Structure 1
Amino acid sequence: MKTIHLPGILAMAAIVVASNILVQFLFGQWLTWGAFTYPLAFLVTDVMNRVYGVTAARRVVVVGFVVGVICSVIGTQIMGEYGPLVTYRIALGSGLAFLSAQLLDVSIFNRLRAGAWWRAPLASTLIGSSVDTAIFFTIAFSGALSFIEPANDVSWAGEVLPLLGLGPMVPLWVSLGFADWMVKLSLALLALVPFRIIVGFLTARTT
């Protein structure tokens, strides 16, 4: 692991730790504060990919995954009002979602890197974020997958309500996932600004 990659590694680790903490705190009816910090992981991966290459980006993803696993293990040992802060389904969904989405992001970015500067980070983050949301919320809360952890009662997530309180009738977990997905897509667009600035700064330093 090159020393020059250390800032990216530390940034990814900090984002994963912060998101695991902030996900415990609600923001409105459909979100947690973690929804606003976790998408920054895609920014870190894309910056590393652009400046240092696909191998460096994958290494940072592996570090983020390991840190996430450690956070999940710690979370399973901390008891909240309704049981462990992190259940097995949440840990499994979080780990698979992070690794799948981030590695997909790296691959898509690498394929599009020769195009316009904004195309690779935008496309890779939009697709990666969508996969991340779908995997996590389905594994963590879908009633169809209750066999993964039978002792974990997630029936509350299956309550049928209007989508985000306004749309068609769907299970609650679908609304939670949809709200999370919209935040990720919004931040993917906003992240183009810091992406451009950070890549320019780092590129100038390495040339």
Structure 2
Amino acid sequence: MNRAYLPGILAMAAIVVASNILVQFLFGQWLTWGAFTYPFAFLVTDLMNRLYGAGPARRVVAAGFAVGVVCSLIGTQIVGEFGPLVTLRIAIGSGTAFLVAQMMDVAIFSALRESRWWRAPLASTLVGASLDTALFFSIAFASQLTWMEQGNDVSWANEALPLMGLGPVVPLWVSLATADWLVKLSLAMVALVPFRIIVQRLRPETA
């Protein structure tokens, strides 16, 4: 493995580990602290893609996926007040969402590589982040998928409440997903700043 890829792998691993820890701590009514760290995984993927190409970016994604699997396995062994911190559905949802969304990010970024500098990272992150949110929350909490883990009671996540306390009545998990998605979209815009700065410093000819 090229040593130049190591910073990207370490950064991705750090983000995945931090997000798995911080997701246990609430931020307000609809979010956890992990919602503010995980979106930067897309920044790492996009930087690797811009600096080294799609192949190395996919390797970093694979490394992040492996770290996420380990975190999920550890989480299944830690029992909290309501059972294991990581249920089977959460583990499947997390892994599936990460892998599919990040690989989509790589594909979209590569397709837009020759366009203006901001289009590839912005479009790939917006699509990838939206896909990530939809896959994770639906797999982990939707009542239609209770067959995946019948012993896991997700009735709390399907309580009918106004969307984020203001909108139409929807299952609670939809409000959680919406809040998470809005954070991802906001951070996608913010991440353009470090993306531009890092690329200009490391590969000015590609900026």
Q: TM-score range by the shorter chain?
A: over 0.9
Counterpart of 2:73 in structure 1: which amino acid?
V
Q: For structure 2, list consecutive stretches of 5 or more residues without a partner in the other structure.
A: none
Aligned equivalents of 1:17, 1:192: Cα separation in 2:
23
Deviations 1:40-78 (A, max 9, x none): 000000000000100000000000000000000000000
Distance 1:61 1:202 in 2: 21
Structure 1 CA distance, aligned partners of 2:202 and 2:143? 46
1:182 CA displacement: 0.2
1:85 match? 85
Using the aligned pairs only, state the percent identity.
73
Tell me the residue number matched to 2:186. 186
For 1:55, what is the secondary structure of its paired residue?
helix
- Residue 109 of structure 2 corresponds to 109
Alpha-carbon distance in structure 1 between the residues aligned to 2:75 and 2:104:
27
Match of 1:27 in 2: 27
1:12: how far off? 0.1
Aligned to 2:45: 45
Question: How does 1:106-185 map onto structure 2 within 5 Å?
Answer: 106-185=106-185
| Map of 1:67 onto structure 2 | 67
* Aligned-residue offset at 1:204: 4.8
Runs of 4+ in 1 over 2 A off after TM superposition: none
SS at match of 1:29: coil
Instruction: Please tell me the root mean square deviation across aligned C-alpha atoms, in Å.
Output: 1.1
Work out the CA distance in 2 between the residues paired with 1:200 and 1:60: 21
How many residues are paired up?
Answer: 206
Residue 200 of structure 1 and its aligned partner are, at CA, apart by 1.2
Q: Secondary structure at the match of 1:120?
A: helix
* TM-score of the superposed pair, with normalisation by structure 2: 0.98
Normalized against structure 1, the TM-score is what?
Answer: 0.98
* Distance in 2 (alpha carbons) for counterparts of 1:44 and 1:200: 15
| Distance in 2, Cα, partners of 1:162 & 1:202 | 47
